[in-house]
Amino acid sequence: MTENGAAFAFLESNTTGTGREFCAAARARGMRPVLLSRDPGRYPYAAADGVDTVVLDTADPQAVLDACTRIAPAAIASSSEYFVDMAARMAAKLGLPGPDGDAVARCRSKDTQRAVHAAAGVPVPAFAAVTSAGEAADAAARIGLPVVLKPVSGSGSAGVRLCGDRRQARTWADRLLADGSATVLVEAAVRGPEYSVETFDGAVVAVVAKHVGPEPYFVETGHDVPAPVPAATAEVLGATAVRAVAALGLGYGAAHTELRLGPDGPVVIEVNPRLAGGMIPVAVRAATGVDLVDAVIARAAGRPAALPGPAAGHAAVRFVQVATEGRVTAIDGLADAAAAPGVAAAAATTAVGRDVRVTHSFQDRLACVVAAGPDHATASRRATAATALIDITVEELPR
Residue numbers annotated as active site: 274
Half-sphere exposure at residue 22, Cβ-oriented, CA atoms within 13 angstroms? 35
Tell me the CA distances in angstroms from 388 to 97, 335, 379, one per residue in order. Answer: 42, 12, 14
With vertex at residue 191, the alpha carbon angle to CA 81 and CA 111, rounded to the nearest 5 degrees, is: 40
Alpha-carbon radius of gyration of the chain = 20
DSSP 84-111: HHHHHHHHHHHT-----HHHHHHHHSHH
Taking each helix axis as running N to C, give the angle between helix 61-71 and helix 84-94, from 0 to 180 degrees, rounded to the nearest 10.
50
How many Å apart are CA 179 and CA 226, to the nearest integer?
A: 37
β-pair partners for 150: 185
Cα 288 off chain centre by: 19
β-pair partners for 34: 9, 52
Q: Could you tell me which of 6, 2, 9, 49 has the C-alpha nearest to residue 31?
A: 6
How many residues can be counted in the chain? Answer: 399
Amino acid at position 190, single letter:
V
DSSP helix/strand/coil, 16: coil
How many Å apart are CA 107 and CA 95, to the nearest integer?
A: 22
How many Å apart are CA 220 and CA 197, to the nearest integer?
A: 15
Q: Could you tell me which of 292, 309, 379, 298 has the C-alpha nearest to residue 18?
A: 292
